[in-house]
Structure 1
Amino acid sequence: MIVKSDPLTARGRRTRAALVQAGREAFDEHGYEAVRVDDVCARARVSHGTFYTYFDSKEALFREVAAAVVGEMFTASLVGPAVPDDPYSRIEAANRLYLRAWAANSRLIRMLEQAAAAEEGFRDLLLELREVFVRRGAEGLRRLQEQGLADPALDPRLTAVMLGGMVEHFAHVWLDLGEQADERTAVDLLTTLWARAIGLTQASTTSPVEGE
Structure 2
Amino acid sequence: MQAGREVFEEHGYDAARIDDVCRRAQVSHGTFYTYFGSKEALFGEVAEAVVGEMFAASVVGAAAPDDPYARIEAANRLYLRAWAENSRLVRMLEQAATTDDRFGRLLLELREVFVRRGAEGLARLQAQGLADPDLDPRLTAIMLGGMVEQFAHVWLDLGEQAQEQAAVDHLTRLWARAIGLTAASTRAETPAESAADTPARSPAGTADQSPAEEDV
**Alignment TM class, shorter chain as reference:** 0.7 to 0.9
Residue 58 of structure 1, aligned match among 26, 34, 39: 39
- Provide the C-alpha distance between the structure 2 equivalents of 1:32 and 1:105, rounded to a whole number of angstroms: 14
2:118 matches 1:137: yes
Give 1:148's aligned residue. 129
- Provide the C-alpha distance between the structure 1 equivalents of 2:86 and 2:106, rounded to a whole number of angstroms: 17
- Provide the C-alpha distance between the structure 2 equivalents of 1:48 and 1:76, rounded to a whole number of angstroms: 33
- Provide the C-alpha distance between the structure 1 equivalents of 2:133 and 2:41, rounded to a whole number of angstroms: 42
Residue 106 of structure 1, aligned match among 87, 91, 100: 87
SS at match of 2:170: helix
Give 2:101's aligned residue. 120
2:142 matches 1:161: yes
Give 1:95's aligned residue. 76
Letter paired with 1:164: G
Deviation of 1:206 after TM superposition, in Å, equals 2.4
- Provide the C-alpha distance between the structure 1 equivalents of 2:132 and 2:151, rounded to a whole number of angstroms: 24
Deviation of 1:61 after TM superposition, in Å, equals 0.9
Give 1:31's aligned residue. 12
Letter paired with 1:51: F
Give 2:208's aligned residue. none
Give 2:185's aligned residue. 204
Q: TM-score, normalised by structure 2?
A: 0.86
- Provide the C-alpha distance between the structure 2 equivalents of 1:126 and 1:64, rounded to a whole number of angstroms: 13
Deviation of 1:116 after TM superposition, in Å, equals 1.1
Give 2:166's aligned residue. 185
Deviation of 1:210 after TM superposition, in Å, equals 2.0
SS at match of 2:191: coil
Unaligned runs of 5+ in 1: 1-19
Give 1:7's aligned residue. none
CA RMSD of aligned residues (A): 1.2
Q: TM-score, normalised by structure 1?
A: 0.87
- Provide the C-alpha distance between the structure 2 equivalents of 1:126 and 1:51, rounded to a whole number of angstroms: 25
Deviation of 1:195 after TM superposition, in Å, equals 0.4
Deviation of 1:38 after TM superposition, in Å, equals 2.0
Give 2:210's aligned residue. none
Aligned residues: 193
Residue 54 of structure 2, aligned match among 52, 65, 73: 73
Structure of higher RCO (CA pairs closer than 8 Å, 6+ residues apart): 2
SS at match of 1:136: helix
Report which of the two structures shows the higher radius of gyration computed on alpha carbons: 1
Deviation of 1:43 after TM superposition, in Å, equals 1.2
Give 2:155's aligned residue. 174
Q: Is the 8 A contact 1:89 1:208 kept in 2?
A: no
Deviation of 1:55 after TM superposition, in Å, equals 1.5
1:158-181 deviation per Cα after TM superposition (whole angstroms, max 9, x unaligned): 111111110000000011111121
